[in-house]
Amino acid sequence: MRIRLPKGEGNALDAVLVNTAGGIACGDRFAVEIEAQSGAKICLATPAAEKVYRSDGPVAELSVSLHAHPGAKVEWLPQETLLFDEARLSRTMDASISENASLTLFEAVVFGREARAECVQNGLFEDRWRIRRGGRLIYADTLRLIGPLSELLSKPGVGNGARVLATMVHGAPDAEARLDFARSHLLSSTGCETAASAWNGLLVVRFCAVSIAALRAAAIPFLIGFRGEPLPRVWLS
């Protein structure tokens, strides 16, 4: 992996993480650790969708560790993760923030290549998020899908036919107070359901879409409106 620091349009340092391998294969292990010192502002993104190829058994692992010191602002805004049929991925997100730091996370996962009308008939996707503020656990969320992923996602209690899932988590001193503002920026979009809630000093938004185009039609305007500034340039390339 490599990191690039292009000139950004916002008020934070833009960083682009590049996977020079061109994707994630079976058994690969990637680890990313970002630490923002007091008062620092950084926005991290990726140049394109991260492809996770089929596996003949081994599980690929991707772990992200973020640390935000007092007054720091960290935004983790990668583009979508694309799971091929028979992909096997275990992903973990561990974030530690100080009481007055700000953290914004956005992750989207696409099940199957739309251009090929691919159905993920078998695979594994495990997504584990943990956020701590001042050393205390304030957010724990784990999604684990194994087996016939497309079939599982078709169930009303899981995805109701969706093939794209996304989550945004915002942790900041004013996170709960921004709930109404966030809901006002959740634009209705054909093929994408959205919902927002806030508690425990966090604001969480869920997206459930039938296609990546439907997700982007809802998520991009929301992220721009909620953040009050443009997305990293790589999102537009």
DSSP string, 63-74: EEEEEE-TT-EE
Residue corresponding to tokens 């805004």 = 77
Cβ neighbors of 43 (< 8 A, separation 6 or more) are 8, 10, 12, 13, 14, 15, 75, 77, 232
Collapsed DSSP state (helix, strand, coil) of residue 226: helix
- Phi and psi based region of residue 39 (left: phi greater than 0; alpha: psi -120 to 50; beta: remaining): left
Phi/psi of residue 171, nearest 5 degrees: -120, 120
At residue 6, the pLDDT reads: 86
Tens digits of per-residue pLDDT, 120-178? Answer: 999 999 999 999 999 999 999 999 999 999 999 999 988 889 999 999 999 999 999 99
Please give the C-alpha separations between residue 205 and each of 31, 56, 194, in angstroms, as whole numbers. Answer: 25, 34, 7
Cβ neighbors of 165 (< 8 A, separation 6 or more) are 108, 109, 143, 159, 206, 207, 208, 209
Continuous segment of H or E residues that includes residue 151:
helix 149-153
Nearest to 27 by CA among 90, 119, 93: 90
Distance CA 101, CA 153 (A): 35
Residue 190 confidence (pLDDT) above 90 = no
What is the C-alpha end-to-end distance of the chain, expressed in Å? 20
* Rounded mean pLDDT, 111-119: 89
**With bands split at pLDDT 50, 70 and 90, how would you rate the model's confidence at 192?**
very high
Side chain identity at residue 113, one-letter code: R
Tens digits of per-residue pLDDT, 194-210? Answer: 999 999 999 999 999 99
Distance CA 98, CA 141 (A): 20
Tens digits of per-residue pLDDT, 21-73? Answer: 889 999 999 999 999 999 999 999 999 999 999 999 999 999 999 999 999 99
Name the percent of the chain in helix, strand, coil, to the closest 5.
15, 45, 35
The pTM assigned to this predicted structure is 0.94
Side chain identity at residue 222, one-letter code: F
Cβ neighbors of 217 (< 8 A, separation 6 or more) are 187, 189, 190, 192
Tens digits of per-residue pLDDT, 63-105? Answer: 999 999 999 999 999 999 999 999 999 999 999 999 999 999 9
**With bands split at pLDDT 50, 70 and 90, how would you rate the model's confidence at 10?**
low
- Give the number of other CB atoms < 10 A from CB of residue 13: 13
